[in-house]
Amino acid sequence: MILIIFLLLELLERINKVNNIAGKWIFWAPSIITWIDIGISIGGWFSIMHVDHPPLPTACSQASMGLLAVIYVYLVGVFILFWVHRHEYFEEEKWALDGAAVCIPLLAIRLAYSLIFIISGNMKFNAIKGNPTAYLIMTMLPEIATIGVCTYVIAARLSPLRKETHSLSRKPDEESQEELASGI
């Protein structure tokens, strides 16, 4: 799920590269929170090594899922910021924004599945031992749809951005070439 969040942030960052809406720092916060989440997840893994019922939510898994929810809410905030400036975009950037608009509600369904289990401990929503139909409908299908939408937008609707290089288009005259050749 975190990779999908970063995929959607990349779509928004592409818009920002063409139309400078926000500073680059706005895309750093999710990365910092993710590193904190990785630390909590590693700590959580070590803590469940000594627990009798590892599939049940732990304090570390609750904190980790809480950070994931924070990153999702941050994504929604960034999306709203870019949506407000929609009229300033070229057609390709509007496609990127529309792709994110389709995927954000799908990601909310995916997040809800995990939050239900983490908050309630309801084993029906456990990814390992839970109801496979709930898992399919609330996790797999939204993720596959999100990846499909993003793939379509990136492959069919967006052209690669080109970096501008500042190179000299003039050729050095013959005297300059001779000076360079003689080492002067």
The tokens of 49 are what? Answer: 């090594």
Give the total number of structural domains in the chain.
1
Whether the per-residue pLDDT at 45 is higher than 60: the answer is yes
Residue 175 lies in a domain: no
Window from 7-21, 116-130, 132-146, 154-168 with minimum mean pLDDT: 154-168
The answer to the question of residue 173 being in a domain is no
Specify if 170 maps to a domain.
Answer: no
Does some domain include residue 122? yes
Look up the domain containing 64 and give its range: 2-17+26-158
pLDDT digits (tens, 9 = 90+) for 81-90: 999 999 999 9
CA distances from 120 to 17, 40, 114, 136, 183 (A): 41, 20, 10, 20, 77
What is this structure's pTM?
0.82
Q: State the Cα angle at 44 between 41 and 48, rounded to 5°.
A: 145
Could you tell me if residue 169 is inside a domain?
A: no
Name every residue whose Cβ is closer than 8 Å to that of residue 156 and which is 6 or more positions away in sequence.
Answer: none
Q: Is residue 114 part of a domain?
A: yes
CA nearest to 101, candidates 55, 56, 65, 153: 153
> Considering the domain boundaries, does residue 125 fall inside one?
yes
Residue ranges of alpha helices (H) inside the chain are 2-18, 29-48, 59-84, 91-120, 132-135, 141-152, 174-182
On whether residue 138 sits in a domain, the answer given is: yes
